[in-house]
Chain A
Amino acid sequence: MQKKVESITKVKNKLGLHVRPATYIAKILQKSQSKVTLTYKGESVNARSIMSIMILTAPKNAKVKIEVEGVDAEKTLSSLLHAFETQFGEDV
């Protein structure tokens, strides 16, 4: 069943959404079947694309909107939120 969920989260790691977090997000989404969109400062991008995430140039404390649509939307959103929360496995 197609589901649509969304949430707004904060970038918590010091360097913002740079190469590593972007890769981290893309990696998480490899397991997901949903369509994921990240929005920051009016710019919406496909979260499966590393380059797209990077053009957002979201710094620490940036509020990013995550929209997930698909069969595993809820699961995907919670794993993404967890990734933002744990700072993409980066040390502070």
Chain B
Amino acid sequence: MNLTVQTLFDRHGEILGLTLTKARQGMDRLVKVSHVQRPGLSLAGYIKRKKDNRILLFGRVELDYLKDLDPKLRRKRLLGVVTSENPAVIVARGLIPPKELMEICLELNIPLFRTKMRSIPLMTKLTLFLNEAFSPVLSLHGTLVEAFGIGVLIKGDSSVGKSEAALGLIERGHRLISDDVVKVRRKEEVRLVGTGPELTRHLIEIRGIGIINVATLYGAVCVRNEVQIDMVVHLEEWNEAHYYDRIGLEERFIEFLDIQVPLYVHPVKPGRDIVLLIETTVLNHRLKEMGYHSAKEFNSKLLEEIAKGKKIAKEG
């Protein structure tokens, strides 16, 4: 993925309150890492372990320190911090960048920004944006819907009935995120968020009808742009040889981008209302999340009864 300073500025410049200074060249420089660096100690001459490829952020401490230095030393110290590897430099708190910093940025073709934001909130927000831009993405074949607030990824071979299942769910008041192609992104290292490509957003292709736009057909309430993927339902043609889960004690998972997601396999067969099955699976999944596991609960009750029966049998 190639993220240029220009792209970052276009996407988030307004929220971060960034304005370009005279040093405006080098906007095509690549941002390669999601970290933001405050020069801190490096300005005092301690440049060991300094990472050069990060965006530099100068706050009040840095500028106050620089102000106390003699101009020659100031330039020397800044040259030790700002290198041609740094994609951009930002001065926070609406402070005026020292002349030497401006000169160095101009010499090295590094864009220099100013913002009124304070350093810490700026750093937090910028890191968040960068993390998102650098998070791993996966493109999947499947249909993503939201039912009862749970993000459900419906997978399965072509023409098994994923789109039809989604249409049925929409008709019952659930929401479509994307049909056919789902872009999955890992967020905060712990969860997966799915969305659809811009071009085919809210469109469904149904064999025999063609391409329909769900947002216009059923209304805006039936669509969403993105959702967290909480579970996966795999639809497959009924296979007599395959043993399908009949109790629900076994829990299966599927992995995307190193994150495990609960997986439920549903065989498709005439007479099986797949929409109702998905709804029920979702509700049961929600119940499990809330701490009630129907199958486990039943099993422990059964074991209890058996134990009781054993006692009676003994006594009798």
Contacts and interface: CB of A to CB of B under 8 A. Distances in A.
Nearest to A45: B181
B197 A55 contact: yes
Contacts of B200: 51, 54-55
Interface of B: 139, 141, 158-159, 179-181, 197, 199-200, 203, 205, 211
A51 B203 CA distance: 9
Nearest to A44: B139
B179 A51 contact: yes
A92 to B, nearest CB: 25
Interface in A14-70: 43-46, 48-52, 54-55, 57
A51 B166 CA distance: 15
Contacts of A49: 141, 158, 180-181, 205
Contacts of B181: 45, 49, 51-52, 55
Given A49-B180, A49-B181, 16 more contacts: A45-B181, A46-B158, A48-B158, A48-B159, A49-B205, A50-B205, A50-B211, A51-B179, A51-B180, A51-B200, A51-B203, A51-B205, A51-B211, A52-B141, A54-B199, A57-B199
Contacts of B211: 50-51
A71 to B, nearest CB: 15
Given A51-B205, A52-B180, A43 B158 contact: no
A45 B141 contact: yes
A46 B160 CA distance: 14
Mostly, the A contact residues are mixed
Contacts of A45: 139, 141, 181
Contacts of A52: 141, 180-181
B25 to A, nearest CB: 29
A63 B118 CA distance: 48
A14 B197 CA distance: 24
14 contacts: A44-B139, A45-B141, A46-B141, A46-B158, A48-B159, A49-B141, A49-B205, A50-B205, A51-B179, A51-B181, A51-B205, A52-B181, A54-B200, A55-B197
A62 to B, nearest CB: 15
B237 to A, nearest CB: 14
- Between B141, B159, B180, B200, the greatest number of chain A beta carbons within 10 A of the residue's beta carbon is seen for B180
B199 A55 contact: yes
Report the 8 A-B pairs with minimum CB-CB distance, sorted nearest first. A48-B158, A51-B180, A46-B141, A55-B197, A51-B200, A49-B180, A52-B181, A55-B199
A74 to B, nearest CB: 21
A44 B183 CA distance: 12
Nearest to A22: B205
A48 B141 CA distance: 10
Contacts of A46: 141, 158
